[in-house]
Amino acid sequence: MLPDIIDKPFWLIASGLGYASGRSYAHTLLFSLVLLLGGFLLWRTKDKNWLVIVSIASLCHIILDGIWLNTTVFWWPLLGPLPHAAPEGFIPGVLLNLVTNPSTYLVEIAGLLMLVFMARKWRGYSDVERFLLRGKLN
């Protein structure tokens, strides 16, 4: 969810200034690769792999978003500047997409099922803390 956490608020706040859409900098391949490189450097020097995991999760996010279909965003900055989009109609568009587009709601249902599975594995606060700090369910 990191690409959305970065891009959506930035877009909603700064769109009046002519900034790119809600799928911009953090939805690019470059962003995921920079995270991955930083993760490998951190892993090598400090023996911590959390940034590698975040970078892989970020890459999975942009793959599931189908960003490769928007080549300007996926390959930014190689194919030119990021496209612009107005925030008007964003929420209604998302809601309409959720109920009319199977490729959207099936992915959301899969995410919900994963959350239910993880919630059943967690038995208390220490399990949640262990997952957040170490990425382990048991």
For residue 94, CA distances in Å to 25, 78, 105, 108 come to 20, 29, 11, 12
Asked if residue 11 has pLDDT above 70, the reply is: no
* Residue 92, amino acid: P
Digit-coded pLDDT (tens) for 80-138: 777 766 555 666 776 777 778 777 777 777 877 877 777 777 666 666 677 777 776 66
**H/E segment holding residue 133:** helix 125-134
What distance in Å separates the CA atoms of residue 42 and residue 98, rounded to the nearest whole number?
A: 38
What distance in Å separates the CA atoms of residue 87 and residue 52, rounded to the nearest whole number?
A: 32
pLDDT score for 37:
92
pLDDT score for 20:
53
Pull the structure tokens for residue 66. Answer: 């189908």
Give which of 45, 63, 84 is closest to 3, Cα–Cα: 63
Digit-coded pLDDT (tens) for 87-96: 556 667 767 7
